Amino acid sequence: VYFIGKDNIPFHTIIWPAMLSGYGGLNLPTDVPANQYLTFKGGKASASRGVGLTIGEGLRLFEPDGLRYALAASLPEQSDTDISVEEIARRINEELVATWGNLVNRVLSMVHVRCDGAVPEPGDRTDADTELVAGVDAALVVAADQIDRVELRAALRTAMEAAAGVNAYLNATEPWNLARTDPDRARVVLGTALDAVNGVRVAFTPYLPFSSAALDEVLGPVDAWLRPELSPGLPIGKPSPLFAKVDVEELFADDDGGTG
């Protein structure tokens, strides 16, 4: 697979394969994903011209998984995409932390408190419960197909949409209220949400290796592109946040106004 910019399509799809064929016995590219341009504050990102962030600069400003998420979510797959320090911080705070990080923390915290610190028995699930988990499984199929087509930004969006669906389920079922009025139903809801989170994390694994490894320590390893089975009774301790929210004022103070 050759990842190239849109200005290099003729060379990498015609001239370069012809040169390789001329030498004989060399592997030809089988897939040439051509991306649009990534611009940084309006200028075409270029290492040679010093436009954009270096990896070292990015890691000085952001946690690795946060930076990886923001860059993957901004991949210029279908059109030119502009990025900046401000946009990276926004994506981390408003998307990664607000949707996925908060979801994981709220589900693990409620299971820890409301389910005696362990994965509950599945119980009698409603159609809505079953549909949530089935929807996550379907999202994994979609994301796998997108990754196979090298639509990495789209696959990440599929993962985030699945996480948003679990958040919507929690808001609709309100297990924090059920814990007072119907504890048995609350345990079923929390077990369902935990099952869903356990599936969604698979879709995030290629993008967020460090936080995914932390979740592996809690829920067990991910060995395949499938939602792993959770064993009832598996201990769930008090969770730590997966991600830290970016302090924008401090970030821009350290970064000379956030100009990159």
User: d(Cα 64, Cα 92) in Å, to the nearest integer?
Assistant: 11
Span 51-72, mean pLDDT?
90
- The answer, yes or no, to whether residue 27 has pLDDT greater than 50, is yes
What residue segments make up the domains of the chain, in order of their start?
Answer: 4-85, 91-219
Q: Quick count: other Cβ atoms within 10 Å of Cβ 42?
A: 8
Question: What per-residue confidence (pLDDT) applies to 207?
Answer: 98
Highest mean pLDDT among 74-83, 185-194, 236-245: 185-194
Question: What per-residue confidence (pLDDT) applies to 241?
Answer: 94
Query: pTM of this prediction?
Result: 0.86
Question: What per-residue confidence (pLDDT) applies to 167?
Answer: 98
Strands (E), 49-98: 81-83
- Reported as half-sphere exposure (CB side, CA atoms, 13 A), residue 82 has a value of 4
Span 111-115, mean pLDDT?
97
Question: What per-residue confidence (pLDDT) applies to 255?
Answer: 52
User: d(Cα 86, Cα 78) in Å, to the nearest integer?
Assistant: 22
- The answer, yes or no, to whether residue 257 has pLDDT greater than 50, is no
Strand partners, 39: 44, 82
Per-residue pLDDT band for 136 (boundaries 50, 70, 90) equals very high
- The answer, yes or no, to whether residue 63 has pLDDT greater than 50, is yes
Question: What per-residue confidence (pLDDT) applies to 17?
Answer: 86
Span 194-206, mean pLDDT?
98
Residue showing tokens 């997108």: 146
Percent of the chain topping pLDDT 90: 68
**Domain 91-219, what fold?**
Isoleucyl-tRNA Synthetase; Domain 1 (1.10.730)
**Mean of the per-residue pLDDT values of the chain:** 90
Question: What per-residue confidence (pLDDT) applies to 48?
Answer: 66
